[in-house]
Amino acid sequence: AQRVTQPEKLLSVFKGAPVELKCNYSYSGSPELFWYVQYSRQRLQLLLRHISRESIKGFTADLNKGETSFHLKKPFAQEEDSAMYYCALSEGGSTLGRLYFGRGTQLTVWP
C-alpha cells in the first residue's frame, strides 16, 4: 500500500508566485515526515523535517494529522527552487525503521 502520495508529478509556477507541493500519507502510528529535494545534477538531500519546525530556503511544511497531510509551501518561488521534491515518511518503534518516499513532484519555476 502506498504510504506517501504526491498527487502532482509536475508543477509549474512563475517566479514570485506562491507554491504548494502536496503530500498525503497513510500511517496509523505517529509518523515522522520529511521533504527531500534533488536539484539538477546534485544528490538527493534532506530539505526539512516536520519535527524541527524549521524553515529552509523559505520553505515550510506543517504536519496536519487530521488531514494526514504534510504540504510543502513557499510564499514567493524563485527560479533556483526548480527541482524534484520527494515527501517521505519514517516509521519507528518496533517496525523496520525504513523510509517511504512518494513518487515525487517536479517543480519548475519560470522567470
Partner 1 sequence: DAGVIQSPRHEVTEMGQEVTLRCKPISGHNSLFWYRQTMMRGLELLIYFNNNVPIDDSGMPEDRFSAKMPNASFSTLKIQPSEPRDSAVYFCASSIGGVGKRNEKLFFGSGTQLSVL
- Residue 64 CA to residue 67 CA, distance in Å, equals 6
Q: Which of residues 12-71 bind partner 1 (CB under 8 A)?
A: 32, 34, 36, 43-46, 49
Which of 96, 107, 108, 111 forms a contact with partner 1 (CB under 8 A)? 96
Query: Are 76 and 68 spatial neighbours (Cβ–Cβ below 8 Å)?
Result: no
Which of 28, 66, 93, 111 forms a contact with partner 1 (CB under 8 A)? 93
75 touching partner 1, by CB under 8 A: no
Q: Of the two residues 81 and 102, which places its CB atom closer to partner 1 in the complex? A: 102
DSSP bridge pairs for 87: 35
Residue 106 in grid coordinates: 517536479
